[in-house]
Chains A and B, each alone.
Chain A
Amino acid sequence: MKPCAFSYVKASSLDNLLAILSDNSDAKILAGGQSLVPMMNMRLARPEMLIDINDVTELRFITEEQDHIRVGALTRYNEIIESDLIKAKIPLLSDVTEYIGYIAIRNRGTIGGSLVHNDPSAEIGVALVCLGAEVVLVNSDAEERVVPLDQFFITTYLTDIAPDEILREIRIPIPAAHSGHAFKEVSRRVGDFAMANAAALMQVGTGGEITSLSFSFGGIGDVPMQIDLNALVDNGPLVEEKLDQAVTKVLREIDPESDNVASGDYKKQLAGVLLKQVVSEAYDRATNS
């Protein structure tokens, strides 16, 4: 099908964008369009007005601050993949972005767009929840609001963004040196919506014991969710039994819904396998770095 008719306006700068938004809070922002336009083509989304922000270059940046990296919301996935800064400081993010869709999608899709769309297994969302990122929202009165990502995600396809707000940037804490990270995804074909995916970030002490561990699942809950694996922290070196115990505990706590990608039972099975594989890989990386 073709999209319904709408008004189109191109924002020339951030101020211009906020001005347009203050008069038209029903309008939808058009960034990469890789999630929005398919919905418009199917007439599931019928915005009356689209504000094209692809010329708002102030929203495309990757800069390093003292303890975190700021990524502008309009930064395209391929820019993240090609960023040496991110590869060096937050390799988990670089790795994860390679799994997103295909080359053509990565050339247009934006990190801000993915977060506001909030698909349950969005790779970027899963990695950023694992990294403890926060988002900076700004409204048409230029008031800023900083929200931790796990609070920003309310439920599938719904975030805490207000109609007159835009997502301006994402702040990602830089992991400590010698951290180990891992990300794994299971999907039918390369680039499909993941049935389930998992990201882990950990630090390992000199004795081989895990000193900190952050882990998140995608495709299991209704949004990317953080999982408590504190049982593995400060508990001696990682051995298979401890990992199996952690898996059993987590499988009791999660309850994935079936959807058109995979059944709930299968997702549960995948969750157990992914947890084990991703935590082991992150551990190997951390101990060998």
Chain B
Amino acid sequence: MPEKPKESAKQHPKKRRSKFDFARPRKEIRKEKKRMNVTGEYILECSKERTWRALNDPQVLSRCTPGFQSMNVVAPDHYEGVVKVGIGSISGTYKGEMKLSDKVDQEKYTIIGEGAGPIGIMNVTGNIELQELDALTTIVYSFEARIGGAVKGLAQRGLIPIAKYLIKQFFGSLAEELAAEKIENRSAHIPETST
């Protein structure tokens, strides 16, 4: 039987009075999603312009995503995809979608993503910002994820380190792509020696 809210909670029925609010009904606690923040930066040996181009190219994004399976473009900057992620013995196939918005050309954009799979569901909002210094571009990222479902409980210890690891893998692949592109471009532009 659902518990009756206490007297003082009547005015703000949804507001939690304190961490030890045991009067909250179980169902509400279970449905609540865990919040997780991951921030960091990654330095690429590449110009801001090329980095920006790569980060807006759905093909590049797909190639760099760890565990990428398939993707289709629903609309410009709106992608749907399937990703298979496995860490240790926890692995699952996730269907998700991602929207890029609030774009400031060559500077930053916001990502809003949603993913669902057998062990949980996740809503992510994040910002990516590019800063250039000399020939290096620093990508500053900050994500807030809200996790629900089975993963929320047992695997909590691993979620942030694993998220960081996957993000690092993504940027590592991106760096490799950009480096390969650079070599390609260079070899295509070998000047012909004049006779």
Contact = CB atoms under 8 A, between A and B. Distances in A.
Do A and B interact directly, with beta carbons closer than 8 Å? yes
A120 B151 CA distance: 17
Nearest to B120: A44
Given A38-B154, A39-B154, A42-B150, A156 B89 contact: no
Given A43-B118, A44-B151, A118 B161 contact: no
Given A44-B90, A158-B87, A158-B88, A222 B161 contact: yes
B88 A43 contact: no
B72 to A, nearest CB: 26
A44 B119 contact: yes
B20 interface: no
A237 interface: no
A158 B160 contact: no
B25 interface: no
B69 to A, nearest CB: 16
Interface residues of A, number: 27
Interface residues of B, number: 21
B165 interface: yes
Point out which of A38, A47, A157, A158 has the most chain B C-beta atoms below 10 A from its C-beta.
Answer: A157
A196 to B, nearest CB: 13
Contact of A157 (B87, B92, B118, B119): B87
Contacts of B153: 42, 260
Nearest to B156: A260
Q: List the 6 shortest-distance A-B pairs measured between CB atoms, nearest first.
A: A222-B161, A156-B158, A157-B88, A156-B161, A45-B89, A155-B165
13 contacts: A39-B89, A39-B154, A44-B90, A44-B151, A44-B154, A45-B89, A45-B91, A155-B164, A156-B158, A156-B162, A193-B157, A257-B160, A259-B157
Interface of B: 87-92, 118-119, 150-151, 153-158, 160-162, 164-165
